[in-house]
Homo-oligomer: A and B are copies of this chain.
Amino acid sequence: MTRPLRADAQRNRERLLEVAAQAFAHDGPQVSMDAIAKQAGVGIGTLYRHFPTREALVEAAYRKELARLCDAAPGLLETMPPDRAVRAWMDLFVEYMSTKRGMADALRAVIASGGNPFAQSRDRLLGAVTTLLHAAADAGSVRTDVRPEDVLVGLGGISLATADPAQAEQAARLLDLLMDGLRHRPT
């Protein structure tokens, strides 16, 4: 299964991603799907076959950049103590989500529908969190009985709840609170 795409399909797919990334950056994350399709010179049907939902398109368009976020984790661990690295990465996460506003919505849609369309990025994110948490746990600065999935979903929740740029400080306070929870020693 998943035989290679036909040449024309491949071309269209790439064109769509290119146009989408540009459109999101230029017109905000709520540009109409029709507009993207038109600009890419394909019909709406084609767009929807490649990306069945708006979220799928957003995810695909941002996948590369999101990978960069994940890849940042090891670097942080090299330049600061593990617990500070965890906290620093959390900031990056929330900042990323609020920059690419469409991302937060996509994230939520996937969370809500327990979706696997996100599986790829999700796994990657989970990997980054796990790495950070393990390092901090080894250093004895966070507890060991917390699941990385929970931390990831928690970060998602904070991003969702503080989507408004005016709430950046509140987001930071919530991250601090989360960190404090992670440091807590169960009695």
Residues of A at the B interface (CB closer than 8 Å) are 108, 111-114, 146-147, 149-150, 153-154, 156-164, 166-167, 170, 173-174, 177-184, 186
Closest Cβ of chain B to A99, distance in Å, is 15
How many Å lie between the Cα of A93 and that of B163 in the bound state? 21
Residues of B close to A112: CB separation below 8 A: 163-164
Give the docked Cα–Cα distance between A15 and B177 (Å).
Answer: 44
**Can you list 25 A-B pairs, Cβ within 8 angstroms, ordered by A?**
A108-B160, A111-B161, A111-B162, A111-B164, A112-B163, A113-B164, A114-B167, A150-B170, A153-B161, A153-B162, A153-B170, A154-B157, A154-B161, A156-B161, A157-B158, A157-B159, A157-B162, A157-B174, A160-B160, A177-B182, A179-B181, A180-B180, A181-B181, A181-B184, A184-B184
Pick the 6 closest A-B CB pairs, nearest first.
Answer: A157-B161, A157-B157, A181-B181, A180-B184, A177-B181, A180-B181
Q: How far is the CA of A120 from the CA of B182 in the complex (A)?
A: 34
Contacts of A149 in B (CB 8 A): 170
Which B residues touch A182, using CB under 8 A? Answer: 177
CA distance A180 to B146 in the complex (A): 12
- Smallest CB–CB gap between A174 and chain B, Å? 5
The smallest beta-carbon distance between A181 and chain B, in angstroms, is: 4
Q: Which B residues are in CB contact (< 8 Å) with A183?
A: 184
How far apart are A107's CB and chain B's nearest CB, in angstroms?
9
Docked Cα-Cα span, A64 to B184, in Å, equals 37
Most buried by B among A153, A178, A182: A153
A174-B161 Cα distance, complex, nearest whole Å: 15
